[in-house]
Each structure stands twice: as structure tokens, then as C-alpha cells.
Homo-oligomer: A and B are copies of this chain.
Amino acid sequence: MSSKKVIELFYDVVSPYSWLGFEVMCRYRNMWNIDLKLRPAFLGGVMQASGNKPPAVIPNKFKYMNKDLARLSQYFGVPLHPPSDIFDTMFNKGSLAAMRFVAAVQEREKGGDKQVEQVSRELWKRIWCEDKDITEPASLCEAAMKAGLSSSEIKEVLELSSSKEIKDKLKSTTEAALKYGAFGFPMLVCHVNQKPEMFFGSDRFELLAQCIGEKWLGPQPDRSAKL
């Protein structure tokens, strides 16, 4: 039996704050005594079911979000650059196909989650750094290729991603997030003494570390360690 504490990370590649949370947890997963479970889910479903509205619909919030992301990009060491048309990217185009694709990668992958991690990162890079599409099959394949999947693997994943099995999988992960009380992503759920402790967003890591009895060394622990 492992003594590692399980932490579930619910995320969607359409969400820039999720990217920050994702990179931080990937940096800490080997420094902390944790078992990180990546939980790709569908933010659109969470927003609709919880009745929440994205920050971008309030003009002053939207302006601040852009400033905030620019500051956090530097602080977290994550190359975030908002796409040219954020509204179109986030609300019209959305991420359903992309998140089904990630769910399919996860379904296929055995013995780890390196592929899920890499494919998710490449999708974030496309939207939130390179201003590229993530809705077309060709876009998803390109991301998977950069993530190191072979052509035959990509073909399989793409087919799988439109299956009922994968649609249901993404739906059930999204429902699991809602059951924990989700109203947005990233959402981190720490399992401590059989009790789920939920943390929302990318600004509660110090409290999360306390919760699991670990030490927070900032968003760039490698850099902190060197200082």
C-alpha cells in the first residue's frame, strides 16, 4: 500500500489558469509524496451546470485578467500569451473536441500519464501561446505529434475520441468535478484521511501544501532550490 496522498487535478486546456496549476503540479509531483491524478474534464459543462459565468464577460474583470495573466506568466515561468480573439477562442470555438481527444489519449495510455501530460501541454501552447486552433482534427494531430505520439497512435486516438465510450468518460469526469463542488478550473482535490479537500484556482498552493503536510517553495521550485 502506498503512503502517497492522492491529488486529483481537474483541468481544461481552454483555461489559462488551469495551465498554471497544471505546470505547478507537474513540477511538484516528484518533490512531494503525492500521487497526482490528471483529470481532463470539460469546463463548459462545469460552467453551465454550476451557473457560473466566465470572468471575461465583465469588462473590468476581462481587462484585469489580461494584466493578471501577464504577471502570473512571469511569476510561474509559463509562456502565456492570450490569443488574438479570446472571446471567440473561449466561447464560440470551445474545447469539447480537444478535451475528448485528451480523454482518448488517457484511455489508451498504459503505465503512466506522460502522453496525457504532453498532449495537454501542447494544446495549451497552441491556444495560450501560439494563437492556433484546437478545434480541427488536424490541429489535435499536430499537438499529439509534437507530444511524441506516433502516427498510428494518433490515428487510434482520433478515432477513439469520437466514440461513445470517450464521450461518456469526459462527461463522467466532468460530473465528478461537479460532485466535488466545482464552479471552474483548475480544481485540485486532495484526499487526506479519507476526506476530499477541494482547492480552486492557481493561488492556493501554500494552503494546499499545508493541507498535505508538504512544503511550498513557490511556483518555480527548481529555481528556488538553486537560489
Contacts and interface: CB of A to CB of B under 8 A. Distances in A.
Contacts of A68: 200, 204
A58 B75 CA distance: 30
Interface stretch (A47-55, A107-115, A144-152, A161-169): A47-55
20 contacts: A50-B58, A50-B60, A51-B58, A51-B59, A53-B53, A58-B183, A60-B178, A60-B181, A60-B182, A61-B183, A64-B183, A64-B198, A67-B198, A68-B200, A68-B204, A71-B204, A71-B207, A72-B207, A75-B206, A203-B204
A72 B206 CA distance: 11
A63 interface: yes
Contacts of A200: 64, 68
A68 B187 CA distance: 13
Q: Nearest 9 A-B pairs (CB), nearest first? A: A60-B183, A203-B203, A50-B60, A61-B183, A60-B181, A52-B58, A71-B207, A51-B58, A58-B183
A61 B71 contact: no
A208 to B, nearest CB: 10
Contacts of A52: 58, 60-61
Interface in A113-168: none
Given A64-B181, A64-B183, 14 more contacts: A52-B58, A58-B183, A60-B178, A60-B181, A60-B182, A61-B183, A64-B198, A64-B200, A67-B198, A68-B200, A72-B207, A75-B206, A203-B203, A203-B204
Contacts of A206: 75
Contacts of A204: 68, 71, 203
Nearest to A63: B181
Contacts of A183: 58, 60-61, 64
